[in-house]
Amino acid sequence: MQPLNLQSEKFSATGNLVSHGLLNAMGRPQHSLQKILLRETVQNSWDARSSDEDPVSFSIKGWTATTAQMDFLKKVIFVEKPKKFDDLEKVIEHDDHIDFLVVSDRGTTGLGGPTRADKISNITGPQDFVDFLRNIGQSTDRKYHGGTYGYGKAALYLSSSIRTICVDTCTSHENKPQRRFIVSAMGEKFTIGKGEYSGNYTGRHWWGRISDDEIVEPALNSDAEKIASELGLPGFTSNEFGTNILILCPKFQDLDHDALMKSLAECIPWYFWPKFIPDKNGIVPMKFELQWENELVPIPDPYKMPVVRKFIESYENYQRMEKTLSDNSENGVHKIECKKPKKHLGKLSLIRFPAEARDIHINTETDSDIPFTGQTHHIALMRQPRLILKYHSGPPLPDDMVGYAGVFIVDDEVDRIFARAEPPSHDDWIKTLLEGTERTYVSTYLIRITEVLRQFTDPPPIVSGDEQQQIPMGQFSQFLAPLLPGVGNSSQKMIPRNESSLGVSPTDGRYTGKSRQERALRKSRHKESPKSIKIKILESPEVINLEGKRTAVIKFDFDKIPSCVGYKIEIDSAVILDGNSIEKEPPAGSEVPYLIGWKKADDRDWIKEKEIFIPSDQKGPWHIAVSITRDILTNISVTGEAEFTK
């Protein structure tokens, strides 16, 4: 087979982006290279899906190149070697066997459109080939695409230790299937001082078939098919479109084949679980396959991963409420809105669940690729393509027995704005990438989510009273009381015991009986007041009008005490205020109840003396007349003493 032609890109008079410019465009992503590669390529495949009804197949297959494949590389692909590309030259010249890693998709459109960026094309629609292989930083103009700036393809070059990929695609061109094969590499920029090829070079190289105007174009159709076949790339059935990207000499940190494949297998369910969920027609949107040396690498089923499963449940909850306009916070779906300017930004679905054993599929060798470990208190952020951007860590719940999983999906009206806020690694939304109102939207979404999470994670108020049916538990509470045995409670009744085993003596305060000293004191007091007599009120006081005054007449008697000379009776009065309090000192100028007089019950006339002394030989009952204050409840206390000497 005729060797491929090399074209190394020269700087134009107005300057170009050097190859390292593209490679550095990725910046310093927070994820591992294999995760970025996976996220980027899955996203590209999803963006390139041929229809919303048919599933996309995505696979990554790796193997060590056979001798024939190595020969083919040396004798057909890299016959022409670029200047200042030592890594490539070293591999081609000295390595007997290198690794191949092929990223393939089917059910996609392939890399269609024109093959050159400089020519005005009659072809309308996507220009995927040019965007992918020629232009740098080309933004997509398609709705709901995961990728945007076109820098993410750098991950493919960065995954190759010689920064070289072979692209084999089958696409529709002028309504016919067309197979295209081209090799692209990102080397060092270099200069050739003299000779036919003198000039400054960007470091970008292509191998293909040279066209009449000296531009390297992809090999086409049977030529391309034969090259791809020689390299062992997956073929295409009739009417099947898609792309194979062969990464030469793949290198991902220090991971060996097994670790790489396990890492990829681990990432797929974590970042692409929405693509495992069957649509309304029961079709699973994407099918994933990993293979090394023709051996399938098992991919964990996200439905069987305890933590991921919770995000799926949260997502399913979102789907149930997706079409409703109102806030469904009661059902766990919250509207996230920018208040000024007013804009609906998306919806957040949250579910709580009891903590369980952590996901059993964690790969300890590559656990840095697990989005998070420990208690789940995270929100899966995504746009309309439904690929996980990242897991946002929310405030943990106070109790590690319970976790929560959430899903936030950007509303379709602002999806493009959020897409533009993504860095090339598509792992965040960065407000500083935007300006004006768009920046406000992107800076607001997280504030609103945080507000919802704060409410969600705050301990709920104790629901009582009218809000919740109360359960009578007084008896149950007393039933349990023996478990807190203490001073003076009933625990002793409940559990048979040796009382001394409590270590508390009966006099330490548990018993509430009166002390010996107190009883003695009461006894002595009794001795100190032997002259008191007990006054008995015989009837309810009668209120009469006595000499124009409202007067209460109290009928009383008392038990006689032998050997006394008489009885001294005293009265004291007070008014009773609202609330039953007693007021003895009246306000200035107020009328005060006072003793008007007293008499034997049978007597007609009142004895108007301020002191009452009843000789011992007189018999009662007796009456006391007390003036009472108008419309006020009066309290009269009557005391008496037996006098033994006059």
Partner 1 sequence: MTSIDIYPFLRPSEDALIVKWTVNGVESIESSEIPHWDPATSIKIQANVSINLQKIKDQCKFSDDDIIRISFKWLSLGTNLLKCSESVDTPLETGLFEDTLERGFSTEIDGGLIFDHVKCSIIISVVNNCKNSIHPFIKKGAILLAKDLEINLDSEESRFPVEQIDFNNNFHLPADAGWFLDWNPDDLTIMALGGIRLYINSHHQNIVKAVTMREKTPVNSAITQMIKFDIARSLFFGALQNEKFLEDPDDYEEGSIGKHVVRLIDITFPNEDINGLSNQVKDSKKRQNLECKLQEKLKLFQELI
Among positions 620-639, residues that touch partner 1 (CB under 8 A) are: 626, 628-639
Applying CB under 8 A, which of residues 462, 513, 515, 581 lies at the interface with partner 1?
462
Choices 20-28, 205-213, 275-283, 533-541 (CB under 8 A): range interacting with partner 1? 533-541
Ordered DSSP codes for 533-554: E-EEE-SPPEEEEETTEEEEEE
Query: Which of 220, 402, 564, 601 is the binder for partner 1 (CB under 8 A)?
Result: 402
Helices (H), 116-256: 128-133, 154-158, 221-230
Stretch that binds partner 1, among 203-211, 224-232, 258-266, 458-466 (CB under 8 A): 458-466
> From the CB of 443, what's the least distance to partner 1, in Å?
29
Residue 598 CB, nearest distance to partner 1 (Å)? 15
Looking at the Cβ atoms of 231 and 626, the one nearer to partner 1 is: 626
Q: How far is the CB of 401 from partner 1 (least distance, A)?
A: 7
Q: Which residues pair with 244 in a beta bridge?
A: 104, 168
Q: Residue count at the site for partner 1 (CB under 8 A)? A: 72
CB 634 within 8 A of CB 583: no
Q: Is 535 in the site for partner 1 (CB under 8 A)?
A: yes
What is the C-alpha separation between 307 and 317, in angstroms, rounded? 16
CB of 36 to partner 1, least distance (A): 35
* For partner 1, the closer CB: 238 or 469: 469
Q: How far apart are CA 9 and CA 17, in angstroms?
A: 10
The residue among 189 and 550 lying less far from partner 1, judged by its C-beta, is: 550
Closer CB to partner 1, 336 or 638, in the complex: 638
Tokens 């030469």 belong to residue = 248
Residues 499-528 that bind partner 1 (CB under 8 A): 501-504
Which of 207, 205, 54 shows the shortest CA–CA distance to 45?
A: 54
CB atoms within 10 A of CB 414: 21
- Nearer CB in complex with partner 1: 542/583: 542
Q: Which of 269, 37, 57, 19 is nearest to 155 (CA)?
A: 37
Residues of this chain, 56-85, that bind partner 1 according to CB under 8 A: none
* CB 470, min distance to partner 1, A: 3
Stretch that binds partner 1, among 81-89, 243-251, 417-425, 531-539 (CB under 8 A): 531-539
Q: Is the peptide bond before 126 cis (omega within 30 degrees of 0)?
A: no
Query: What would the two tokens of residue 469 be?
Result: 């049916």
Q: How far is the CB of 646 from partner 1 (least distance, A)?
A: 24
The yes or no reply on residue 459 touching partner 1 (CB under 8 A) is: yes
Could you give phi then psi for residue 272, rounded to 5 degrees? -125, 20
Q: Which residues of 110-138 are buried (b: 16+ CB within 10 A; e: fewer)?
A: bbbbbbeeeeeeeeeebbbbbbbbbebeb
Residue closer to partner 1, measured from CB, 124 or 500 = 500
Spatial separation of the C-alpha atoms in residues 510 and 522, rounded to whole Å: 22
Stretch that binds partner 1, among 73-81, 120-128, 397-405, 583-591 (CB under 8 A): 397-405
Q: Is residue 550 a contact point for partner 1 (CB under 8 A)?
A: yes
Is the Cβ of residue 253 or residue 637 nearer to partner 1 in the bound state? 637
With vertex at residue 390, the alpha carbon angle to CA 389 and CA 395, rounded to the nearest 5 degrees, is 140
Q: One-letter amino acid identity for 266? A: E
- Nearest CB to partner 1, comparing residues 72 and 556: 556
What does the H/E/C string look like for 57-92?
A: EEEEEEEECCHHHHHHHHHHHCCCCCCCCHHHHHHH
Whichever of 446 and 552 has its CB closer to partner 1, that residue is 552
**546 counts as binding partner 1 under rule CB under 8 A:** no
Exactly one of 537, 561, 564, 596 binds partner 1 (CB under 8 A); that residue is 537
Q: Is 252 in the site for partner 1 (CB under 8 A)?
A: no
Q: Is 592 a residue that touches partner 1 (CB under 8 A)?
A: no
Residues 337-396 that bind partner 1 (CB under 8 A): 352, 354
**Three-class secondary structure of residue 422 per DSSP:** coil
CA 465 to CA 470: how far, in whole Å? 7
Piece of the chain touching partner 1 by CB under 8 A; list 173-181, 298-306, 420-428, 532-540: 532-540
Whether residue 591 contacts residue 550, with contact meaning beta carbons closer than 8 Å, is answered with: no
Give whichever of 117 and 402 is closer to partner 1, judged by the CB atom: 402
- H-helix or E-strand spanning residue 631: none
Strand ranges, E, within 486-645:
532-533, 535-537, 542-546, 549-558, 566-576, 582-583, 595-600, 612-615, 622-627, 634-643
Q: Which is closer to partner 1, CB of 500 or CB of 515?
A: 500
Part in contact with partner 1 (CB under 8 A); list of ranges 26-34, 280-288, 407-415, 548-556: 548-556
Q: Which of 300, 394, 423, 541 contacts partner 1 by CB under 8 A?
A: 541
CA distance 409 to 402: 24
Q: Enumerate the β-bridge partners of residue 348.
A: 334, 408
Q: Which residue do the tokens 């005054």 mark? A: 549
Residue 273 CB, nearest distance to partner 1 (Å)?
23
In whole angstroms, what is the distance from residue 30 CA to residue 426 CA? 11
The CB-of-450 to partner 1 minimum distance in angstroms stands at 17
Q: 576, 577, 592, 607: which one contacts partner 1 (CB under 8 A)? A: 576
CB closer to partner 1, 433 vs 538: 538
Nearest to residue 248, comparing CAs of 134, 153, 167?
167
Lookup: tokens for 164: 């070289």
Query: In the complex with partner 1, which residue's Cβ is closer, 68 or 463?
Result: 463
Nearer to partner 1, 283 or 473 (CB): 473
Binding partner 1 by CB under 8 A: which of 542, 547, 583, 603? 542
Smallest distance, partner 1 to C-beta of residue 334, A = 16
Q: How far, in Å, CA of 230 to CA of 225, rounded?
A: 9
Residue 583 binds partner 1 (CB under 8 A): no
Binding mask 468-497 for partner 1 (x = CB under 8 A): xxxxxxxxxxxxxx-xxxxxxxxxx--x-x
Smaller CB distance to partner 1: residue 12 or 475? 475
β-strands 242-248, 164-173: how paired?
antiparallel
Question: Between 480 and 520, whose beta carbon lies closer to partner 1?
Answer: 480
CB of 518 to partner 1, least distance (A): 21
Binding mask 109-148 vs partner 1 (x if CB under 8 A, - otherwise)?
----------------------------------------
Integer Cα distance of 41 and 20 in angstroms: 20
